[in-house]
A = this chain, B = another copy of it.
Amino acid sequence: MSLQSNQSLKCKISVKSPATLITVVLLVMIASLVKAQQVDYSIQAVPFTQVKFNDKFWLPRIRTNHTVTIPASFERCEATGRVKNFEMAAAHSGAFCTVYPFDDTDIYKTIEGASFSLSLYPDKALELYIDTLIQKVAAAQEPDGYLYTARTIDPLKTHKWAGKERWEKERELSHELYNSGHLYEAAVAHYMATGKRNLLNVAIKNADLVCSVFGPGRRHVAPGHEVVEMGLVKMYRLTGNKKYLETAKDFLEERGRFAGYDSASKDPWKNGAYWQDHIPVTKQREAVGHAVRAGYLYSAMADVAALTNDAQMVQAVDSIWQNVVQKKIYVQGGIGAVGDGERFGQNYELPNRTAYNETCAAIANIYWNQRMFLLHGDAKYIDVLEKTLYNGMISGVGMDGNSFFYTNAMEITSAFRHSDMEGGRSGWFTCSCCPTNVTRLIPSIPGYVYATSKSDIFINLFVSGTSNIKIDNRSVEIVQQNDYPWSGALKFTINPSRPEKFALKLRIPGWARGEAIPSDLYSFTTSSTQKVTILVNGNVIPFEMSNGYAVLNRSWRKGDRIEVVLPMDIQRVVANNKLIDDRQKVALQRGPIIYCAEWKDNDAKVSDMIVPQDVVFSTEFVPGLLNGVQVIRGQVPAIEVKTPTQVTTISKSFTAIPYYAWAHRGTGEMMVWFPVGIKDLTIIPAE
């Protein structure tokens, strides 16, 4: 989920459940008392509740998420004992029956995903089931608001990662505040989607406890796994209760204060960098440590920077973002290169064979970039968000909605199999953070398409559908019709409730302007045959670019049509020479889609192929393949082992598919980066 809860007070008007109207009105009244002081992002995302998709790319995935992933996820929460943990906590009897103390969050995250999903697929049975779960969650909450089944079940036998006392090991591995953070995120989404307060009440009670224990003038801790900071900001934006924001900020500012680390050590566990706890956040300039923790931290830094006007915090999070896009992100948008510690590597450490790329880290990266956009209003953040969304994030979930990658490989060859890297998807993991994170991210995508700022409307993503956008208390309907990401021909119909002058800021992706994303690390060696063209009501118009947006500032009338042509040539991508593993190699991109070659389409092998400069590629949409994908084809030289002592070179047909679509047809070789020529060969031996 991202900032779909921005328009906290406005969105309450649109809740569907009339029964909760009185509550909502009361909330509005209470909140308006503090509203005067409430600082928020100057740019606000249009909430997911206002955006309906009817496209062929995302809607089927959201539908599969609704019909397959969410039920399967709840079923697994039941079958593995995650639900039972709450029941036992309510009864104060039994023994914690799953593995990790953060297993509670899989329930919260699935409720969050289901809440987003209900906005597109109203589903009474699902809503009722969620209510029964919320009852169990509420029953497991201790009278003062504490909620952490791993302790409440039997306080004398807490989880080994938790201390004897509450919060005692929060800086390390107890995850007590991590659980709280996910509770808040779920509660806000659930309230926004349903208007029901049942989970929100639990969250408020817990947040009030957390803020009575921690925060300015009270106890301090740098939470061992960040997310409570993001959650508290959401709670603040929904309720206007300022102590939530203050405590979030306090959690951030406590980082880098612990004296027990060995700052001279290079071991990220010993020097605190694993937890981003090595130096104060405002002094941090580099993305380090566990990538999911980092992504959630940087998201919260953007939140707090914006909401408290903290210039130092802005400077820090801007620098860290620069560090990631200049030195630490894969071409498919994945982050967290190193398996040992699931963490960021050194600058330019982006190996292909061992690329870890946790799915959760891609999701965290989406959260973070959305917030960076809201903070600065620049399309470059959405460029990174789009890259991650269409490539390194959705690769993490199979098209059946029931199979997942925890890691997202960049290269699988028969010659080299690293034990960390998954060659095929799994149904579930003991540590199931990734599947439930996917469950909540996929249906939240409608919340990323539009944003508003005063009387401007930002169009960030291109997805067919209808949206209802409020600016200056008036409503504008925008209808998108396109075949994105396969076609760059985009149509928008603008239907203001009455003629109105406002600026439409239409994102022109970096890749459509000849820049690979991010351009510090990657570039195109090819140039487009077309230029970006914009027509309004059939006439080509000149347009001004500002921060990556084509600014269409005019008086709009109902039925106004915008047509945009984004060039979708096949691009050869090369990497910065500092990326050792990509040297003298090429990747392929078309539109926002990064390609890979998989064994299935290439005579069972892809590591034998060379892609020299002169290969001529063609492209074609294949409806029956992998739910419909645009493939790229060419003829390339390849190596053939004729006998155990004889090798030769042949011409071979090359077929590339979108990276996100790999690993749906059995396991075998896959590569993203192809050698442009042979300098040398390593022999894999055989009798």
Contact = CB atoms under 8 A, between A and B. Distances in A.
A419 to B, nearest CB: 12
B647 A647 contact: yes
Nearest to A583: B685
Contacts of A687: 584, 676-677
A213 interface: no
Given A584-B686, A686-B584, A645 B681 contact: no
Contact of A607 (B416, B583, B682): B682
Interface in A553-585: 583-585
Contact of A608 (B608, B646, B678, B681): B681
A414 B647 CA distance: 20
Contacts of A641: 678-681
A612 B644 contact: yes
A416 B682 contact: yes
B644 A610 contact: yes
A523 to B, nearest CB: 15
A38 interface: no
A339 interface: no
A680 B415 contact: yes
Contact of A677 (B415, B675, B685): B685
Contacts of A607: 680, 682-683
A413 interface: yes
B677 A645 contact: yes
Interface in A633-655: 637, 639, 641, 644-649
Interface string A254-297: 00000000000000000000000000000000000000000000
Given A584-B687, A676-B685, A677-B686, A637 B648 contact: no
Interface in A647-677: 647-649, 675-677
Interface in A601-641: 607-608, 610, 612, 637, 639, 641
Nearest to A264: B160
A679 B684 CA distance: 6
Contacts of A679: 641, 644, 684-686
Contacts of A416: 682
B645 A648 contact: no
A350 to B, nearest CB: 16
B678 A683 contact: yes
B681 A684 contact: yes
Contacts of A678: 641, 644-647, 683-686
Contacts of A645: 610, 612, 637, 649, 677-678
Interface in A414-429: 414-416
Contacts of A675: 683-686
A685 to B, nearest CB: 3
Contacts of A414: 680
Contacts of A637: 645-646
A418 B415 CA distance: 18
A585 B684 CA distance: 10
A639 B649 contact: no
A682 B681 contact: yes
A678 B681 CA distance: 11
Nearest to A610: B645
A643 to B, nearest CB: 8
Given A682-B684, A685-B676, A649 B646 contact: yes
A585 B646 CA distance: 17
Contact of A682 (B413, B583, B644): B413
A649 B649 contact: no
A677 B644 contact: yes
Contacts of A682: 413, 415-416, 607, 681-682, 684
Contacts of A608: 681, 683
Given A584-B686, A584-B687, A687-B584, A647 B680 contact: no
A289 to B, nearest CB: 18
A686 B416 CA distance: 20
A597 to B, nearest CB: 13
Contacts of A644: 610, 612, 676-679
A639 B685 contact: no
Contacts of A676: 644, 685-687
A584 B677 contact: no
Contacts of A585: 685
Given A584-B687, A686-B584, A687-B584, A647 B681 contact: yes
A676 B683 CA distance: 10
A296 to B, nearest CB: 26
A339 to B, nearest CB: 14
Contacts of A612: 644-645
Contacts of A649: 645-648
Contacts of A413: 682
Contacts of A648: 647-649
Contacts of A610: 644-645, 683
B584 A639 contact: no
A675 B645 CA distance: 10
A162 to B, nearest CB: 16
Nearest to A267: B269
A413 B681 CA distance: 10
A436 to B, nearest CB: 27
Interface in A55-105: none
Contacts of A684: 675, 678-682
A509 B644 CA distance: 35
29 contacts: A414-B680, A415-B680, A415-B681, A584-B686, A585-B685, A610-B683, A612-B644, A639-B683, A641-B680, A644-B677, A644-B678, A644-B679, A647-B647, A647-B648, A647-B649, A647-B681, A675-B683, A675-B685, A675-B686, A676-B685, A676-B686, A676-B687, A678-B683, A678-B684, A678-B685, A678-B686, A679-B684, A680-B684, A681-B684
A-B pairs, 9 with minimum CB distance: A644-B677, A679-B686, A675-B685, A680-B684, A584-B685, A637-B645, A682-B682, A681-B681, A675-B683
Interface of A: 413-416, 583-585, 607-608, 610, 612, 637, 639, 641, 644-649, 675-687
